[in-house]
Amino acid sequence: MELMKKSIHTERIKAKALLQIPIEEDMNVSDTKPDVGKLLFHRGRIKIDEIKTGVNKVWIRGRLLYSVLYVSDEKDAGLDMLEGEIPLTEEVYMEQAMAQDRVICATFLEDMRVSMINSRKLSVRAVITLKPRIMEHAEDEVCTDLNGYEDKRRGEPLRLEYQKKNLEYLESVVCKRDVFRIHEEATLQAGMGSVGKVLWKSADLSHITFRPLDEKISVFGDMNLFLIYREENSNEIKCYETSLSFHGNVECQGCWEKMTADIAYDIANEEITIREDSDGEDRVISVDMALELELLLQNIGSTQMVADVYGVTCNAEAITEKKEFRQLQYEGEIAEKLSGTFALQDAKQRILQICHNQAEMEIEECLLRDDAVTLRGDMKIGVLYTTGEEDIYFAYEDVRIPFEITRQILGMDLGMECSVLGQVEQLQVVIKEDNVVEWRATADIHMIVYRIQQEDILVDLNIGEIDAAKLETLPGFAIYFVQDGDSLWKIGKKYYVSVDNIKEVNGLSGNEVRPGDKLLIVKSGERAE
C-alpha cells in the first residue's frame, strides 16, 4: 500500500503579538550648541538592532533615532540641529516561541513630541508600536495518487474507487533577509554658495517598486533630498531640495519573473555627507543608504489531489487531516487622489516662501468583505516655511489627516489576509490667502490579498473486508431514484459499485445526474439482463 505524495513548501505565521511602548527621556543640549529659543520641527525613526527568541518569549533591542531643528535666541546663531537616540529593549510574551525561530518585527512611530524644558534641556516623548510575528517553514504533503493495493487472499489488485480534485496554492520559493544599498550624489546648482555648516539633512524614499526577474529582484525608487545649510562665504541660510531616482538589483537565486513578490523594507542605515567637487568646493551631497529587505517570493502552483476513496471489493476508510493552503486572491495597485486644506496657526505674519514639505501615510486597518476593500489610516503632512516682514524666520507645522479608501474588488471576504505597502506620491502644497495651505497628493498602495483555504488531506487508508451483514442488505440489482445533492460518486460509494460501472450499465457518457433520474444499480460480480 502506497500513497503517492507531493510536498508543498509554505511560510506561515506561527504566532504574533502587538505591543505599544511609551518612551520619555530628557536630552541635554551639547556645550558646542547654542541655546534653544524655539523648536521648529523634528523627525524620528525606529531602528531594530537585534531580535532573540527563547521559550515563549522574544527579546527586541533597538533605538529611537531623532533629529530636532531649532532656532536659537543667541545673536548670530540662527538655526541649528540636535541629534540623539533613545535605547529600546523589550521582552514580549509569545506562545509557541522557541529558540532559533525566525521573527519579523514591524515598527510604527505612532506619536512623537519634543518640547522645551529650558534653553539647555529638551523632553522627548514618543509612543512606539511593535508588531512581532514568528514565521515558520511548513512542508505539507498531499496525496496525488494511489499505488500498490492488493487483495492478499486472491493475489490480485483491490478494486478501489477514488476521485481527484484540483488544489491551487502559493508555494514559497525564496524566504530570506537581504540588503539593498543605495548610493546617490547631487551637486548644488549654479548660483548657490558652497556648504559651510549643515543645519538639517534628510533623505526620504518614495515610489519604491520591487520587480522579480530571472535570478534577481529589480528595485526602483525615488529619493527626496533636503538640506538646510549656511553658505561658506556669506554665512546666509540656504535651502536645497532635489529628487533623485535610483535603480539596482538584488541577486536572488531561484527567482523568476512571474513570481508573487511580498517584500517589506526598512532603513537600516542612512548617511548624508558633504564632499568637495572638482574645484575643491564643498558642493557635492553624497547619500549612502542601506535597506533591509524581508523577501518572500511565491509561485502559483496547482496539482490534482486524491479527495475521497471507497472500496468496491473491500472496505476502505480514508484517514484525513485538515491543512491550510495559501492562495493568491488579488495583487495590484490602488491609487487614490487626496486633497484638502488647513490653516498655518503659527504664521503670525505674511508667509514668504515654502521651503520644504513632506508627507507620510500610515495604514491602520485593511478591511476585506462584501467584494470590497476598505483602507483606513492617517496622512501626516508637514510644511517648513519662512515668514515675516522685516525679520525673516523659519516656522514649521504639521497636521494629521485621516483617510478612508474603498475599492470594489470581487472575491473579497472576511478571513482573508492582506499585505499592504502604502506610499505618498506627487505631494503638492500651495499657500492660499489668509495663510491657508491647500494640498494634493496621491496615495499609492500595493496590496496582496491571500485566501486561506482549508482542505481535508488524505494521509492514510484503512483497508478491510466488507462487513458481511452490511453486504447482505445490499441487493444485487436495484432501481435508484436520484435525490437532491446526489452524485454518481455518492451513489457508487453507498452500493460498493464503481462510477464507471453505473455509467456503463445506464449508458451515461458523463457524470451529471439530476434529481428524479432513474438509475439501475448492479452489484459488483452481477450482470444485468
What are the Cα distances from residue 95, in Å, to 7, 15, 134, 205?
28, 7, 10, 36
In a domain, 380, yes or no: yes
Cα separation, 21 vs 26, in Å, equals: 17
Residues 285-314 have a mean pLDDT of 92
Please say if the pLDDT value at position 67 is more than 90: yes
Question: For residues 231 and 194, is the Cβ–Cβ distance under 8 A?
Answer: yes
Same domain, 104 and 73: yes
For the entire predicted model, the pTM comes to: 0.82
What are the Cα distances from residue 175, in Å, to 135, 136, 179, 251?
10, 10, 13, 13
Q: What confidence category does residue 344 fall into, taking pLDDT thresholds of 50, 70 and 90?
A: confident
What's the pLDDT score for residue 292? 94
Cα separation, 521 vs 527, in Å, equals: 10
What's the pLDDT score for residue 104? 92
- Domain end residue (candidates: 103, 136, 169): 136
Strands 372-387 and 393-408: antiparallel
What's the pLDDT score for residue 316? 86
What's the pLDDT score for residue 349? 65
What's the pLDDT score for residue 79? 87
Same domain, 165 and 219: yes
- The fraction of the chain above a pLDDT of 90, given in percent, is 60
- Domain end residue (candidates: 136, 171, 186): 136
Please say if the pLDDT value at position 100 is more than 70: yes
Residues 380-396 have a mean pLDDT of 77
Structure confidence by residue, pLDDT tens digits, 239-287: 999 999 999 999 999 999 989 999 999 998 999 999 999 999 999 999 9
- Domain end residue (candidates: 83, 107, 136): 136
Residues 198-209 have a mean pLDDT of 92
Phi-psi region of 389 (alpha: psi -120 to 50; beta: other; left: phi over 0): alpha
Cell digits of residue 380: 501626516
What's the pLDDT score for residue 188? 94
In a domain, 322, yes or no: no
Same domain, 308 and 159: yes
Same domain, 129 and 197: no
Question: For residues 309 and 162, is the Cβ–Cβ distance under 8 A?
Answer: yes
What's the pLDDT score for residue 528? 42
Range with lowest mean pLDDT among 102-116, 143-157, 293-307, 332-346: 143-157
Q: What confidence category does residue 78 fall into, taking pLDDT thresholds of 50, 70 and 90?
A: confident
In a domain, 466, yes or no: no
Please say if the pLDDT value at position 181 is more than 50: yes
Closest CA to 448 of 291, 259, 226: 259
Q: What is the dihedral of CA 203, 204, 209, 214, to 10 degrees?
A: 20
Same domain, 168 and 296: yes
Please say if the pLDDT value at position 23 is more than 70: yes
Q: Which residue has the cell 512611530?
A: 109
In a domain, 454, yes or no: no
In a domain, 272, yes or no: yes
Structure confidence by residue, pLDDT tens digits, 509-526: 988 999 999 999 887 644
Taking the CA atoms of 10, 16, 18 and 24 in sequence, report the sign of the dihedral they define.
Answer: negative
Q: Which residue has the higher pLDDT, 111 or 296?
A: 296
Question: For residues 268 and 147, is the Cβ–Cβ distance under 8 A?
Answer: no
Q: Which residue has the higher pLDDT, 374 or 478?
A: 374
| CATH number of the domain where residue 489 is located | 3.10.350.10
Strands 57-71 and 79-93: antiparallel
Under DSSP, is residue 249 helix (H, G, I), strand (E, B) or coil? strand
Residues 410-439 have a mean pLDDT of 88
In a domain, 42, yes or no: yes
Please say if the pLDDT value at position 474 is more than 50: yes
Same domain, 295 and 387: no
Residues 47-59 have a mean pLDDT of 93
Question: For residues 63 and 43, is the Cβ–Cβ distance under 8 A?
Answer: no
Cα separation, 491 vs 508, in Å, equals: 14
Same domain, 65 and 42: yes
Same domain, 132 and 190: no
CB contact burial 403-433 (16+ within 10 A = b; e otherwise): bebebebeebeeebebeebbbbeebebebee
What's the pLDDT score for residue 150? 56
Same domain, 154 and 282: yes
Cell digits of residue 369: 468583505
Same domain, 127 and 185: no
In a domain, 144, yes or no: no
Under DSSP, is residue 468 helix (H, G, I), strand (E, B) or coil? helix
Q: Is 6 exposed, middle or buried (0-12, 13-18, 19+ CB in 10 A)?
A: middle
Cα separation, 344 vs 399, in Å, equals: 10
What are the Cα distances from residue 17, in Å, to 20, 95, 99, 165, 204?
10, 9, 17, 37, 29
Structure confidence by residue, pLDDT tens digits, 113-166: 999 999 999 999 999 999 999 998 889 999 999 886 655 555 566 788 888 999
Average pLDDT over all residues of the chain: 89
Distance from the first to the final alpha carbon of the chain: 36
What's the number of domains the chain is made of?
Answer: 4
Residues 45-49 have a mean pLDDT of 93
- Please list, in sequence order, all residues whose beta carbon lies within 8 angstroms of the beta carbon of residue 472, skipping any fewer than 6 positions away: none
Letter for the amino acid at 81? M
* Residue-number span of the structural domain to which 235 is assigned: 149-313
Please say if the pLDDT value at position 187 is more than 70: yes
Residue 116 has phi, psi (to 5 degrees) of: -90, 130
Under DSSP, is residue 64 helix (H, G, I), strand (E, B) or coil? strand
Q: How many CA atoms lie within 13 A of 322 on its CB side?
A: 3
Cα separation, 96 vs 93, in Å, equals: 10
Same domain, 52 and 128: yes
Structure confidence by residue, pLDDT tens digits, 488-512: 999 998 888 989 999 999 999 988 9
Cα separation, 115 vs 110, in Å, equals: 17
Same domain, 253 and 292: yes
